[in-house]
Structure 1
Amino acid sequence: MTHNPSEVRTIRKVLVANRGEIAVRVIRTCRELGIATVAVYSDPDRTAPHVRLADEAYRIGPAASAESYLSVDRILAVAAESGADAVHPGYGFLSENAAFAEACSRAGIVFVGPPSEAIRSMGDKTAARALMEEAGVPMAPGTLDAVEGEQEAADAAAGIGFPVLIKAAAGGGGKGMRIVESPDEFVSAFNAARREAQAAFGDGRVFIEKYITEPRHIEFQIFADMHGGAVHLFERECSIQRRHQKVVEEAPSSVLDEELRARMGESAVAAARSCGYVGAGTVEFL
C-alpha cells in the first residue's frame, strides 16, 4: 500500500515479516493474486509452515524476537537481498512500529499498512489516548503518558482507584498487561508488565487506566482510503475473552440499539480521520 495518491506502484514480491497463521494467510492470499512471497524465520521456525509455503525463505536470527522478528535492520536487509517490493508486517511484532514503516519508505519499499504518522498516533496507546481526549472521545480514567518509576506509577494508580489495568503503550494482543486489585500487588505487577512489553515489542513503556469490571468489549471495523474517505463496517461483540485474548467474536452485538450503534460508528470513523488513517483498522470500545 502506498500513501501518495498520485503514485501507483505494482507489487510483484512481498516479504512477510511475521510467522504462524498470519504469515500463512498472507502468503496464500499473495499466491492467489500471483504475487511472489518471501518468508523470514528465526532458528526454531526453520521448518515452520510459513517457511515451507513461501517462494523464498531467509534466516533472520536466533529464537529471541528482539534478535529476529523485531530486528528492522535484518528484515530490511532480506528485503533488499530478495528484491521484495513490499513488506507485510502481519499483526504483532513490527506491525504497529512507526519507525519500521518509515524505514521501509526510506528504503523504497512499500509498507502494507497505514502511514507511519497514523501508526505513531494510534498504535502507541498513550499517544492515542491524548489524541482521543483532544477529539472528545470518552475514555476510561487513566494516565495520558507512560509512567516510568515505581513510585510515580503507584501514585497514579492510587489516584485512579483500584482495581487498575497496567497496559503496554506499544503493541497489543494482551502482552504487557496486568490487572491489579490492590496496592500490595502493584509494584510486582508493574515490573512484570514492563518486562513483558519490552520482550514482546522492544518497548517497555506502560500506562495505567481504571479497570472496568465485566465490561462489554465492542470493536468497530473501519476502512479508510488515501483521499480522506472513511467508513465503518459495523461492530463485533468481543466480550468473551481469556487472558485478554478474544475467544468468540459475534456480529452484530446483541446489546447495542440503533442509536448507540450509530453514535459508536460515527466515533470510530472520526477517530480514523483524526489521525489520517489508511487501510483496515479497528476501533475498540468498552
Structure 2
Amino acid sequence: MFHKILIANRGEIAVRIIRTCMYMGIETVAVYSTVDKDSLHVQLADEAVCIGGAKSQDSYLNMENIISAAINTGAEAIHPGFGFLSENAEFAQLCEECGIAFIGPKSEHIKAMGNKSWARHKMIEINVPVVPGSEGEIKNLEEAIKIAKQIGYPVLVKASAGGGGRGMRIANDEESLKNAFNTAKAEAINAFGDGTLYLEKYVANPRHIEFQVLCDKYSNVIHLYQRDCSIQRRNQKVIEEAPGIIDNDLRDKMIEATLKACRAINYENAGTIEFLVSGNDF
C-alpha cells in the first residue's frame, strides 16, 4: 500500500479521494492554483503545494509542476481523479519514467484505446461486435464516400481522438458527407490536435449501455454489470442508471464481449466498455 499520494485535481473530486485516503491511513498531498488556495481539498490534505496560476494549463494541466510537487513531497503515487490529466497518455508515461505510480491505466492503454479508430480495428480483429463502418481510420474523402455507399446512409463521421461529442458529424447523403468530413476534420484538429477520422453507420436513437470492469496484470477481469447512460445532452451523459434493464441473454453476450476486449489488450486497472444497443443487437 502507498504511504503518501498526491491528488492532481481539485474540488469535490479531490475531497472524496482525500477522505478515502484518510480512512485508509494514507497521507495526502493536495495541489492547487492561486485562486484555489482556500479550497476545502487544500485544507483537508496533510500537505498542499501551489502549482501555478488560475488558468488550468498553468496549474492542473501543468505536468512538470505536478511531477515536481510529487517528487519534492515524497509522494509515491499520483491520483489524477477524472478530467484534467486522467486520460493523458503523456502524463501517465511521465509518471512511469519518474518512478511515480500513476493510479489509472498504463500509458500504452490510454494511448491505444484513446485512439478510437485503432480501438475499432482491434475489436474487429478479435470479433467483438462493432457498428458497420471503416475498419480503422479513413485516409481521405474518397474512401469515406466509398465506405458510405457500401454500408448505406446515414453515416457518422467521428474523430479518432475525439470525446465529448466533438469531431462528430452526421451525413445523410454524399453531398452532406463532403461537408461533414471537412468540418469534423477541422474541429478534430482544433480540439485534439489530431485530424484522423473514421466512419460508422449512424444508429438512430440507440441505448447506451456500458460495463464497469476491474482488471489486474495477471489477466484477471471482473465486471460490475451494466448501467444505462442513454439520457444525454450534446453527446454528454446526463444520467447513469444502474442496473440498466436489458434482456438476460443479451446481457450475457455483452459481458462475454466485454471480458474478451479487456483480455485482448491486457488491460489493467478500472475501465469501462461501452456499447450501443438497438433492439437485440449491440
**Fold similarity call, TM over 0.5:** yes
Structure 2 counterpart of 1:258: 248
After TM superposition, the structure 1 stretch with the greater mean CA deviation from structure 2, 20-29 or 256-265, is: 20-29
Give distance in 1, aligned partners of 2:240 and 2:160: 23
- Residue 72 of structure 2: aligned partner: 81
1:69 alignment counterpart: 60
SS state of the match for residue 220, structure 1? strand
Aligned residues between the structures: 266
What is residue 194 of structure 1 aligned with on the other side? 189
Where in structure 2 are the equivalents of 1:201-212 lying within 5 Å? 203-210=193-200, 211-212=202-203
Contact preservation (8 Å) 1:167, 1:193: yes
Over 3 Å counting, the alpha-carbon distance change for 1:214 and 1:102 in structure 2 is: same
What code does the residue aligned with 1:166 have? Answer: K
What CA distance in whole angstroms lies between the structure 1 residues aligned with 2:203 and 2:38? 42
3-state SS of paired residue (2:207): coil
Equivalent residue number for residue 156 of structure 1: 144
Q: Which residue of 2 aligns with 1:269?
A: 259
Structure 2 counterpart of 1:257, which letter? Answer: D
Query: 2:106 maps to which residue?
Result: 115
The question of whether the paired residues in 2 share the 8 Å contact of 1:42 and 1:69 is answered with yes
Provide the TM-score with structure 2 as the length reference: 0.82
Bigger-Rg structure (1/2): 2
Change (3 A) 1:84 1:146: farther
Instruction: Give distance in 2, aligned partners of 1:157 and 1:77.
Output: 49
In structure 2, what is the equivalent of residue 4 of structure 1?
Answer: none
Q: Deviations over 1:147-184 (max 9, x none)?
A: 68xxx3586367434442433516x4x16343344347
SS state at 2:274 partner: strand
CA deviation string 1:205-238 (max 9, x = no partner): 4533333221110001111122221121211111
The correspondence for 1:167, drawn from 134, 159, 162, is: 159
Equivalent in the alignment of 1:98: 89
Percent pairwise identity: 45
Please say which of residues 215-224 and 19-28 is displaced more in the overlay. 19-28
Match for 2:216: what amino acid?
D
Q: What TM-score comes out, normalization by structure 1 length?
A: 0.81
Matches of 1:49 and 1:259 in 2, distance apart?
A: 47
When residues 253 and 214 of structure 1 are mapped into structure 2, their CA distance, relative to the original with a 3 A threshold, is same
Q: What do the CA deviations read for 1:65-106 (whole angstroms, capped 9, x no partner)?
A: 344333322211111111111011112222223332222122
Q: Select the structure with the greater relative contact order (CA < 8 A; seq sep ≥ 6).
A: 1
Runs of 5+ in structure 2 lacking a partner? 277-282
